[in-house]
Amino acid sequence: MEPHHTKTKVLDFKKTDFSKMVFCVNESLSDWRSLKGVQEKWDYLKEALLKATGNCIRLVSKNKKGKKPLWYSAEVAKIVKNKKIAFNNYKKTESEEDRQTYKIRQKEAKQFIRASKAHTEENIALSVKKGDKTFFRYINEKRKVKQGLVRLKTKEGRYVEEDKSLADCVNEYFCSVFAEEKEGKGPQLGGNTKETFTYEFTEEEVLQQLSKVKTSKSIGWIPSGPKLLKELTGVIAKPLTVLFNQSLLPGVVSEDWKLANVVPIYKKGSREESGNYRPVSLTSVVGKLMETMLKERIVERLKTNRLQDQKQHGFTSGRSCQTNLIDFFDWVTKIIDTGGAVDIAYLDFSKAFDTVPHRRLINKLQSLSLDSNIVEWIRQWLSDRQQRVVVNGVYSAQGLVTSGVPQGSVLGPILFNIFISDIAEGINGKVCLFADDTKICNRVDVPGGISQMTNDLGTLKKWSEL
């Protein structure tokens, strides 16, 4: 009996005539400019891409079977094939000459495979510095770490195993952690609230962003994925520039850009508990292009006005875990070297990204001298977001996102940093931040040192309850 493999349909980009596709998209967009609204323009552009995809890219069946190991190159396959041929010849003839030939081929194969494994592992180790995920995938394969959801315990105590039930169970949990915001504006950040600046996106800027699109990234949930955008750069750059500017000026965000497919990523603990998974949002690639350009302008504004939080080492250019540790150890060792004593409190906020209150965040953005259109765009981007969990290609029902910044988005990290940037106000001790991982340090061999640590923790608690 032939082994059974599950088949799935995938787009065959290798045999696609992209010149024909460019013609199809151009033809579809001939009267695109006559459309008025952002949503209308986006729907029309999306349909043009869908139509061109259907007409120009064929779907092919792909077997879902085990992949060959990374070290199994074409050269290895050739050596292994030669060994098999030599073995079959020896089985037929049983001659001493063919036996010796097989032994030689067998030895060659072992040596070549060993060398190929060593070379591959060396390259994988070097890839860590480039931020490549190959290293971690390789380690997980070696450890036989099982990925994905298999079985979950519901809040009623039942166990579910079907993909749809798993997706609904996780999404219900993810939606349950969203926070209800208290009334009131909350604190404002320092900044010149009167000064503002305006700008428009240029076609050159959009072309530059399209050139940086990584084709290996997820396609999100609509067909305008990285590979397609890359190939159609010349024909879609101008329409996207018009669309992005029209979206920014009145602060109107397409509904498609506010829908996320959420992939549950295992963190730690029991794999049967929904709370042990982290939600990572896969969103529209086109929406992410606009997020990227907005992020660059926000970062530029923070640098110009010197509003970047010097205590924050996470999601900040030029900073990392290493700079966080250096700053921390430098402060501590100076005290220890003089015979002093230090108390350190390590803190981690539960569901920090998912519970950021939108109204307070917008209030802080308004105090940074950002153009009102940018702030309004972000407010719209955060409002009425929808998410659905996907498990093995099966979707949960959609859920409303009422708080938080999407993990996996471009704007999410910088918005989180802005929200948390006033966390150290009123704290007298040393504060070190890496995203929401917080260290508070106080010298305690001096009068009032211990009580100061207690006061600082109380101040931090009040901040978290605002």
The reported pLDDT for the residue numbered 193 is 43
12 part of a folded domain: yes
pLDDT in tens, 141-198: 776 655 678 899 999 999 999 999 999 999 999 999 998 876 655 555 555 444 445 5
The reported pLDDT for the residue numbered 192 is 47
93 part of a folded domain: yes
Give the pLDDT band of residue 309 (cuts 50, 70, 90): confident
Asked if pLDDT for residue 226 goes beyond 60, the answer is yes
Q: Is residue 254 within 8 Å of 42, Cβ to Cβ?
A: yes
Based on the domain organization, do 429 and 334 belong to the same domain? yes
Highest mean pLDDT among 65-74, 306-315, 408-417: 408-417
Tokens of 460: 């931090």
The reported pLDDT for the residue numbered 66 is 56
Lowest pLDDT segment from 31-35, 205-209, 343-347: 31-35
Q: How far is residue 399's CA from residue 31's CA, in Å, rounded to a whole number?
A: 36
Domain that includes residue 179, residue range? 152-465
Based on the domain organization, do 230 and 353 belong to the same domain? yes
On average, the pLDDT of the chain sits at 87
Instruction: Give Cα separations from 16 to 47, 56, 59, 227, 390 (angstroms).
Output: 19, 6, 11, 12, 28
E strand segments, 308-436: 342-348, 385-391, 394-395, 399-401, 430-434
Based on the domain organization, do 60 and 79 belong to the same domain? no
1 part of a folded domain: no
Based on the domain organization, do 88 and 158 belong to the same domain? no
Q: Which residue has the higher pLDDT, 26 or 198?
A: 26
Asked if pLDDT for residue 1 goes beyond 50, the answer is no
Asked if pLDDT for residue 40 goes beyond 90, the answer is yes
324 part of a folded domain: yes
Asked if pLDDT for residue 307 goes beyond 90, the answer is no
The reported pLDDT for the residue numbered 190 is 52
The reported pLDDT for the residue numbered 455 is 96
Q: Is residue 246 within 8 Å of 41, Cβ to Cβ?
A: yes
Based on the domain organization, do 31 and 160 belong to the same domain? no
Burial of 347: CB neighbours in 10 Å, binned 0-12, 13-18, 19+ = middle
Last residue of a domain, one of 38, 64, 90: 64
State whether residue 30 is helix, strand or coil.
coil
Q: Which residue has the higher pLDDT, 239 or 8?
A: 239
Q: How far is residue 189's CA from residue 34's CA, in Å, rounded to a whole number?
A: 42
Tokens of 391: 């498990």
Based on the domain organization, do 102 and 177 belong to the same domain? no
The reported pLDDT for the residue numbered 4 is 41
Provide the 10 A C-beta neighbour count for residue 114.
11
Asked if pLDDT for residue 95 goes beyond 80, the answer is yes
In percent, how much of the chain has pLDDT > 70? 90
Based on the domain organization, do 119 and 56 belong to the same domain? no
The pLDDT of 283-311, averaged and rounded, is: 91
Host H or E run for residue 265: strand 259-266
In percent, how much of the chain has pLDDT > 90? 62
Based on the domain organization, do 239 and 133 belong to the same domain? no
Give the pLDDT band of residue 361 (cuts 50, 70, 90): very high
Give the pLDDT band of residue 219 (cuts 50, 70, 90): low
The reported pLDDT for the residue numbered 145 is 55
Name the DSSP class of 312: B
Lowest pLDDT segment from 3-12, 47-56, 313-322, 370-379: 3-12
State whether residue 210 is helix, strand or coil.
helix
11 part of a folded domain: yes
The reported pLDDT for the residue numbered 60 is 78
Burial of 358: CB neighbours in 10 Å, binned 0-12, 13-18, 19+ = buried
Last residue of a domain, one of 64, 86, 111: 64
Total residues found in the chain within this entry: 466
State whether residue 277 is helix, strand or coil.
strand
Based on the domain organization, do 327 and 459 belong to the same domain? yes
Lowest pLDDT segment from 10-14, 326-330, 392-396: 10-14
Based on the domain organization, do 290 and 203 belong to the same domain? yes
69 part of a folded domain: no
Asked if pLDDT for residue 133 goes beyond 80, the answer is no
Based on the domain organization, do 41 and 79 belong to the same domain? no
The reported pLDDT for the residue numbered 418 is 96
Based on the domain organization, do 135 and 163 belong to the same domain? no
The reported pLDDT for the residue numbered 383 is 95
Asked if pLDDT for residue 5 goes beyond 70, the answer is no
Give the pLDDT band of residue 400 (cuts 50, 70, 90): very high
Q: List phi, psi (to 5°) of 280.
A: -115, 120
Tokens of 169: 């169970």
Provide the 10 A C-beta neighbour count for residue 440.
22
424 part of a folded domain: yes
Asked if pLDDT for residue 459 goes beyond 90, the answer is yes
Pick the closest to residue 418 from 367, 462, 374, 373 (CA basis): 367
Asked if pLDDT for residue 295 goes beyond 50, the answer is yes
Asked if pLDDT for residue 78 goes beyond 70, the answer is yes
165 part of a folded domain: yes
The whole-angstrom distance between residue 325's C-alpha and the CA centroid of its chain comes to 24
Q: Is residue 251 within 8 Å of 376, Cβ to Cβ?
A: yes
Q: CA-CA-CA-CA torsion for 275, 280, 283, 285, nearest 10 degrees?
A: -170
The reported pLDDT for the residue numbered 100 is 93
Asked if pLDDT for residue 358 goes beyond 60, the answer is yes
Based on the structure, what is the number of domains in the chain? 3
Q: Which residue has the higher pLDDT, 15 or 379?
A: 379
* ∠ CA 389-392-396, rounded to 5°: 30
Asked if pLDDT for residue 3 goes beyond 50, the answer is no
